[in-house]
Amino acid sequence: MIFRAVCLLAALIGGPVAWAQSQAEALSMLSRAVTASQNLSYAGTFVYQSGANVETSRIAHYVDSDGNSIERLEVLDGSPREVVRINDEVRCYLPKEKIVIEDRRGSRKTFPSLLPESINSLGEFYAIKRGASGRVAGFETHSVLLEPKDGFRFGYVFWIEAQTGLLLKARMVNERGEAIEQFAFAQLEIGLPLSREDVRSRMAAMSEGWAVHSASTTTGQNVDVGWVASAPVPGFRQIAGMRRSLGPDRPDMVHMVFSDGLAAISVFIEPFRKEDGNFIGPMKHGAVNVFKRRVGNFIVTALGEVPPHSLLRMVEGVEQKR
């Protein structure tokens, strides 16, 4: 009887300790992944999958002697597209449309740099623990599981390369553990002696005369845009607020971004037009859920890779400041 009691006490004490150790180890692995994506040079091919949509891209990442992070991404399926990023400055080349889009990366993250720099805050909304080991693109990896603590966000699984810490595979899952979307390297070389030439745009030379569209804001980040989310989704705080120009003959569009550190919800507010009348309510585009609501003479659109009821709650709480 005494032996059983001692074993039970050991289990009660050891359970939380083991869980805390697992979480601390998992957080350390995620932190390594953040550093690796910023500091390593690598080149490879990865596959993005969302439902029936599959897209393959080639990526090269280089860090120069001044510490600048330079990246070139080429989409290999469908219409040709090339994205070149130097730190937070992004240029997207669309040769079919003969358009160059200039923007700042801001809060948007791209594979394999999906994780936020502040990892510890994720533990408030996700149960974080180490998962099983495995192989991705020929590399040994350890996995980290992020299970949501409520129904306002999806879960994630990250596969991290054992030696360098680079993120090699990322999967978003629903409440049943089913994949919603996934990024995974199919071929990868880490630590290559790359040069500036390896990440230089291949389309810049042919883009002379193309239309240049600047998606930059007309005001600074996180400014007072005259709108507020009175009842935001739990865990999602506003990280940006801006006005975006839609052209010389149209009013500016308000854009607010809310994030829990990993998932993000974008809210767009623009004047109501007659053609918007048939598109009120929920919609879905691949892994991205969308919800539109009319507020007076405006259309409020919320979109993000979160459950539909999270977007409904967000748009129902958006209102103009009085």
- Per-residue pLDDT band for 271 (boundaries 50, 70, 90) equals confident
Question: According to the model, what pLDDT value does residue 18 have?
Answer: 52
What residues does 185 pair with on adjacent strands? 46
Average pLDDT, integer, range 190-203: 92
What residues does 274 pair with on adjacent strands? none
Q: What is the pTM of this model?
A: 0.85
Backbone phi, psi, residue 32, to 5°: -60, -40
- Per-residue pLDDT band for 20 (boundaries 50, 70, 90) equals low
Q: CA end-to-end span of the chain, whole Å?
A: 69
Which residue from 92, 290, 66, 111 is spatially nearest to 207, judged by alpha carbons?
92
Give the long-range contacts of residues 81-85, CB within 8 A, separation 24 or more. 82/201, 82/202, 82/203, 84/199, 84/200, 84/201, 84/204
Predicted confidence (pLDDT) at residue 21 exceeds the cutoff of 60: yes
Cα–Cα distance measured from residue 133 to residue 90, given in angstroms and rounded to the nearest whole number? 35
Q: What is the number of alpha carbons within 13 Å of residue 286 lying toward its C-beta?
A: 12
Count of residues in the chain: 322
Question: According to the model, what pLDDT value does residue 275 have?
Answer: 67
Give residue-wise pLDDT tens across range 301-318: 999 999 999 999 999 988
Percent of the chain surpassing pLDDT 70: 87
Q: Which domains does the chain show, CATH number per domain?
A: 19-206 (2.50.20.10), 217-320 (3.30.200.100)
- The H or E element that residue 110 is part of is none
DSSP 285-316: ETTEEEEEEEETTEEEEEEESS-HHHHHHHHH
Give residue-wise pLDDT tens across range 65-124: 888 999 999 999 988 999 999 998 999 999 999 999 988 776 567 899 999 888 888 999
Question: According to the model, what pLDDT value does residue 296 have?
Answer: 84
